[in-house]
Amino acid sequence: MLKYLLNVISPAVCPSCEKSRTVYPLPVCGGCYYSIQARTDDADMLREKDPEKIDPDNSTSPLKSEYSCLDYTRAVRCCVKSFKFYGNRDLIPLFRKTIGSYIIRSGLKKQGFDIILPVPLHRSRERKRGYNQSAMLGEIVSAFLSIPAYSEILIKDKNTSPQSALRKSERRVNLKGSFTVVNSSLIEKKNILIVDDVTTTGATVDECAYTLMKAGASSVSALTLARVR
C-alpha cells in the first residue's frame, strides 16, 4: 500500500524511455508497456508459419532449435527484471499474451515436443528469491502447448556466480557441470523444450541441453521470453 501511495504521489521516471512516468504496478510507462503489447497485437504476426530457428552463438550448440518471443529492448528488460528479481506478477498477463501469440504464429505446436523443462535455479537462490521465474514461464508454455512441464527432473546442484556479472568468455566455464538430471528414464528418447526468461550468449540453455542429451534425450530445443541481439 505504501509503494502504491508513493507511486501515485510521485511516480518514478520510466527507466526505458526516460521521458514519461511509470504506471504502478508496472516498471515502465504506459507507452513503453504498450510498445511490447503492440508486437503481439499485430494481426499479420498471428498467421501461423514455420518456426524460424535462431542460429546459436556457438556452432557446436547441442540445441536442435532455439526460439525467442521478443528482442531484449529497454522496455522488455525493465519488465523482465521487475518480474525476475522483484516478483512482479502483474506482468504475467503480458508475458502470457506474448508467449501465446508467439506459439500460435511460430507453429511450435507442430514440433512434437514431449515435455517442458524450465531452466532451474540452485536451491539456495530459489529459496532466497521465493520462486523460479523460468518455472512460472514454463507453466504458461505448458498451457499453450498442452504438454507437461516438470521442475524436478533437471536441477542445478552447483551454485554458480550470476551470469550477468561475467564476460561472454567466462559464462560457459562458469556453468560447466552445474546441472544434473535426477531421473534419466523420464527424459530418455524424449523431445524436450527448455524454457528460460532471457538468453544472451546461449551458455545456460546450451549447458542444460548438453546435460539432457548426455542423459539420453532424443532432442533438445529452447524457448526464451526474450533474446539479446
- In 129-190, DSSP assigns E strands to 154-156, 179-181
CA distance 179 to 155: 6
CATH number belonging to the domain at 47-227, selected among 3.30.70.990, 3.30.390.10, 3.40.50.2020, 3.40.50.150: 3.40.50.2020
Minimum mean pLDDT among 13-27, 58-72, 106-120, 159-173: which range? Answer: 159-173
pLDDT reported for residue 59: 57
φ, ψ of residue 5 to 5 degrees: the values are: -65, -40
CA distance 115 to 187: 8
CA distance 92 to 43: 22
E strand or H helix at 198, and its extent? strand 191-199
Integer angstrom CA distances of residue 186 from 18, 181, 199: 48, 9, 26
pTM value?
Answer: 0.86
Report which of residues 43 and 69 the model is more confident about. 69
Rounded to 10 degrees, what is the CA torsion of 190, 173, 65, 153? 30
CA distance 82 to 162: 17
Helices marked H in the chain:
2-9, 30-41, 74-86, 92-106, 123-129, 133-145, 168-175, 203-214
Q: Judge whether residue 86 has pLDDT over 80.
A: yes
The pLDDT tens digits for 133-191 are 999 999 999 999 999 999 999 999 887 766 565 566 666 666 788 899 999 999 999 99
Banded pLDDT at 7 (limits 50, 70, 90)? low
Q: Give the domain ranges of the chain.
A: 47-227
Cβ contacts of 212 within 8 Å, gap of 6 or more = 117, 154, 181, 187, 192, 194, 220
The pLDDT tens digits for 97-121 are 999 999 988 889 999 999 999 999 9
Banded pLDDT at 41 (limits 50, 70, 90)? low
